[in-house]
Copies of this chain bind each other. A is one copy, B any other.
Amino acid sequence: MQRPVPALQNSLLDALPPADLARFAQHIVQVELDRGRLLYDPGDQIDHIYFPHDGVISLMTLMENGQAIESTTIGPEGALGLMAAVAPRQSLSRAIVQTPLRAARISAERLHEAWERSATLRHLVDRHTEALYGHAIQSVACNALHSVEARFCRWLLTCHDRISTDTVALTQEFLADMLGVQRTTVTAVARSLQAKGVIRYRRGVVDIIDRAGLQALTCECYGVIRDTYQRLLGPAAGGLNGRGERWINGQ
């Protein structure tokens, strides 16, 4: 089933007054990036900031042994590298495109100029930073306290909120990497969820069949993080519940 295609919008850009947006609109480039695309690695200078319209970017923490795990994600409710609008800085994470991404991109320099002139933008950058921090600290707890199944469900729900279809292209290996678990554990959970009727999967693809069932199975972290984004960035922050709500009402 194809969900209603949302307008190609990013919550932060949408929240800017038109006059503020006009100041830097000519510096914005629209990009489309394939799944798997590496945007930044730890230590890379953040020279561009991405405002997703659709799709998700995973921010991953890398280990010395090459292992990695997702710490937070960025979707249409936010922006990748936004703190670089305030001052030059280096990435702390590996940022990769998780699902096909359409985004507005602008150089950090240009956005810094806009930041200096727009109180609203400064406010949004500040709030987004806080939301991301809230996301991270909730994930600290989640990874320690919750089962792989709950986290698997959380991952799917978060992804679902930010894309325009019920179908997520992802391999079990990939999800195992994101969750920091073994691929065969993901296999076991996927089979269990399929048996419960909440998803259907085949090679490289997961279909979300029963979103409410997924929500019943996930941990509280899904809702806490969503609520944090909404409180700080408004109902449209969203990629999360704002859009989900429109869809539910329209169904």
Contact = CB atoms under 8 A, between A and B. Distances in A.
Nearest to A219: B63
A57 to B, nearest CB: 14
A182 to B, nearest CB: 12
A139 B61 CA distance: 9
Q: Quick one: which of A83, A86, A139, A141 has the most chain B CB within 10 A?
A: A141
Interface stretch (A20-28, A105-113, A128-136, A198-206): A128-136
Nearest to A148: B144
Number of copies: 2
Given A144-B144, A144-B180, A130 B63 contact: no
A158 to B, nearest CB: 14
Interface string A48-74: 000000000001010110011111100
A74 to B, nearest CB: 13
A211 B145 CA distance: 29
Interface stretch (A87-95, A187-195, A234-242): A87-95
B67 A137 contact: no
B64 A145 contact: no
Contacts of A228: 92
B141 A92 contact: no
Given A64-B220, A69-B140, 18 more contacts: A61-B140, A63-B141, A67-B145, A68-B141, A69-B145, A86-B126, A87-B126, A92-B130, A92-B133, A92-B137, A133-B133, A140-B143, A141-B143, A141-B180, A143-B143, A143-B144, A144-B179, A144-B180
Contacts of A196: none
A179 B140 CA distance: 10
A138 interface: yes
Contacts of A145: 63, 67, 69, 180
Contacts of A144: 69, 143-144, 179-181
Q: Quick one: which of A132, A136, A137 has the most chain B CB within 10 A?
A: A137
A58 to B, nearest CB: 12
A123 B71 contact: no
Contacts of A133: 92, 129, 132-133, 136
A88 to B, nearest CB: 11
A136 B133 CA distance: 7
A180 B145 CA distance: 7
